[in-house]
Amino acid sequence: MKQIFTVANKEFHDGLRNRWLVSITLIFALLSVGLTYFGAAASGVLGVASLSTTIASLASLAVFLIPLIALLLSYDSFVGEQESGTLLLLLTYPLSKSQLLLGKFIGQGGIIALATLLGFGASALLLYFQLGDADIFSAFGLFIFSAILLGLSFTAIAYLISLSVSEKSKAAGFALITWFLFALAFDLALLALLVGVEEGVSQQGLTQLMMLNPADIFRLINLSGLDASGVNGALAAAINASLSQTELISALAAWVVLPLMLAIFIFKKKKL
Amino acid sequence: MSNPMVSLVDAGKSYAQLDALQTITMTLGEGEVLGLFGHNGAGKTTMMKLILGVISPTQGQVEVMGMAPDSKEAWHCRSKVGYLPENVSFYEQLTGLEVLTYFAKLKGFSKKEAIELLEQVGITYAMKRQVKTYSKGMRQRLGLAQAFIGEPKLLLLDEPTVGLDPIATRDFYKTVDQLKANGSSVILCSHVLPGVEQHIDRAMILSSGKLLAMGTLSELRQQAALPVTIKPSGLNGTVAINTKLNGFLSSSCQQTLMVPEHEKLMVLKELLSLDGLNDIHVEAANLEQVYQHFLLEHKLSEHELSKHGLSQPKQVKKGQG
């Protein structure tokens, strides 16, 4: 346990030193405050938009940004240390592979989680001062919690990439492709399946397919709670047949735990 | 030497394509310093990794302090082992002190010990600076400080003196001697370096995964049967007409005698009996020559083998190149 903490502490401080925490927090805060104020501009009103519109726009923003940031932060965690030789050295220490991996996960996951909390929390506070509505905290609470899970999930996926390749540049390439697949291509494919194939998938089947993508689970969690008026497309169809919030959150949590366990497994098999 | 610090019994490691290390049997006692020599790819690093327990042998047994180093029981022994990898670049964005504190904590020590170690290797003046500003020699010192954490009982040092200036090299060997006096065992892995002879008890020569020779320097000298170089001065040609001595004259230099080890005393006595001798210089083969000898011998025997093999033309070409 002490070993895990030592590694986590180092990784967290690296995140602070490299200004990751500050930049991510700023990006989230600026974008979310901006969306909160100007999100309603499209419907002709300037000023604080309604809570559900705000959450909906924040979720569609976060679903692109958070995976990208998590992958960027963590893709070189292992392959980078392997290239510089410190990975081999660390493994001669009284430190097991799972301790090293979990330590890194807690440290880097901590950066993502804290940045998400501070960045989006800022706009929650702002909304609260404007509207004075205590519902804001429960709505934002769910949003921030699921956003953190989404970030952790992609941190774990980044470790999978980092442990499976032998060069940093390759890891960067794979990270980009992974982001593209999960954040963009998957949804396009789903839409094509819905529109292009007659009697292809039922609503039930569609929802099940969406469980294969943590980004989509995140969308479902945040949009299904809202009045569905502002939501259309494949999502709307899925929402109608949706699973309960608890089930969705468990599915997203599984997307954190399973890649993490797989990463530990790959790390243990890895030839040094 | 009741309990050897390290023992390898027929230990080897092979990968799908390559025998990185073929069956090696050796022991290393407490307080012993072993020099491990060989070219790149000779299997030095593989052997170190086996001893460190980072990889498991595909055959034979490896024991460190009486336990298999890759097993769970050997876990607590790891803080008693120090390792300096060959090419390591520490976290560039951290300061030297931060790097060393991190490693010290992982071994269960604190910042205080880290500072003491930095003092020992002489880079306290730069400990608040980022590692990326360090020179090659400073990085090497930082690496050594890292290997010395917790006064290890067993030290494995891969190319420890690369990038060190002569003074730092001398300091380094002093530290090795000190550790040895405290009962630590050391494996020094390097290309053959001048000056390493006085600090090692035994040498081990590896080439392409095979053990070519192992023993104390004098044993190796004997095995190699390399001649002793004797340079008398002031004799003005009397050697050339002395029938007992002129057979030993070096073909390249008429003033030098190349004498097999067992005839050294006879030749010396004969020389001393000659009139006019005013000085005499005796030099036994050094480690570098011994090393060259074993490598050459190995190459020749491989060459011999390949002549009788199937892939003759290819192999011969390789031997010439």
One domain, residues B293 and B147 = no
Q: Which of B73, B75, B106 to mutate to test the interface with A (most CBs of A within 10 A)?
A: B106
Lowest mean pLDDT among A13-22, A104-113, B51-60, B185-194: B185-194
pTM: 0.85
pLDDT over threshold 50, residue A60: yes
One domain, residues B131 and B181 = yes
B18 touches chain A (CB under 8 A): no
Among the candidates B178, B193, B215, a domain finishes at: B215
One domain, residues B117 and B170 = yes
Contact B78 A92 (CB under 8 A): yes
Lowest mean pLDDT among A48-52, A98-102, B21-25, B241-245: A48-52
Q: Find the CB nearest A85 among B15, B55, B88.
A: B88
Q: What is the mean pLDDT of chain A?
A: 86
Lowest mean pLDDT among A240-249, B37-46, B257-266: A240-249
pLDDT over threshold 90, residue B98: yes
Q: Return the DSSP state at A269.
A: H
- Residue A103 burial (C-beta neighbours within 10 Å; 0-12, 13-18, 19+): buried
pLDDT of residue A152: 97
One domain, residues B62 and B187 = yes
Contact B83 A89 (CB under 8 A): yes
Mean of pLDDT values over B61-82: 85
Tell whether B1 is covered by a domain: no
Mean of pLDDT values over B102-117: 93
B110 to chain A: closest CA residue:
A6
Tally of domains within chain B? 3
pLDDT of residue B317: 39
The residue to which tokens 């890194």 are assigned: A104
Encoded amino acid at B196, one letter: V
Give one word for A266, left, alpha or beta, with left for phi > 0 and alpha for psi -120 to 50: alpha
**Which residues on chain B are in Cβ contact (under 8 Å) with A85?**
85-89
One domain, residues B139 and B237 = no
pLDDT of residue B320: 38
pLDDT of residue A114: 95
Contact A93 B85 (CB under 8 A): no
Tell whether B304 is covered by a domain: yes
B105 touches chain A (CB under 8 A): yes
One domain, residues B84 and B168 = yes
Strand B210-215, strand B202-207: pairing? antiparallel
**Which residues on chain B are in Cβ contact (under 8 Å) with A86?**
88-91
Tell whether B297 is covered by a domain: yes
One domain, residues B251 and B296 = no
Size of interface A-B (CB pairs under 8 A): 58
Range among A52-56, A197-201, A262-266, B57-61 rated most confident: A262-266
pLDDT over threshold 70, residue A234: no
B134 touches chain A (CB under 8 A): no
One domain, residues B165 and B240 = no
pLDDT over threshold 50, residue B314: no
pLDDT over threshold 50, residue A184: yes
**Which residues on chain B are in Cβ contact (under 8 Å) with A10?**
102
Among the candidates B190, B215, B240, a domain finishes at: B215
Query: Cα–Cα distance between B23 and A180 in angstroms, integer?
Result: 49
A80 to chain B: closest CA residue:
B91
Contact A194, A228 (CB under 8 A): no
Range among A53-57, B83-87, B225-229, B237-241 rated most confident: B83-87
> DSSP string covering B5-27, please?
SEEEEEEEEE-SS-EEEEEEEEE
B90 touches chain A (CB under 8 A): yes
Among the candidates B215, B238, B263, a domain finishes at: B215
**Which residues on chain B are in Cβ contact (under 8 Å) with A95?**
106
Mean of pLDDT values over A217-227: 79
Residue B246: give the domain boundaries. 227-283
One domain, residues B33 and B61 = yes
Contact A6 B53 (CB under 8 A): no
One domain, residues B117 and B169 = yes
pLDDT digits (tens, 9 = 90+) for B131-167: 999 988 889 889 999 999 988 999 999 888 887 888 8
B132 touches chain A (CB under 8 A): no
One domain, residues B41 and B187 = yes
One domain, residues B179 and B266 = no
Q: Which helix (H) or strand (E) holds B230?
A: strand B228-233
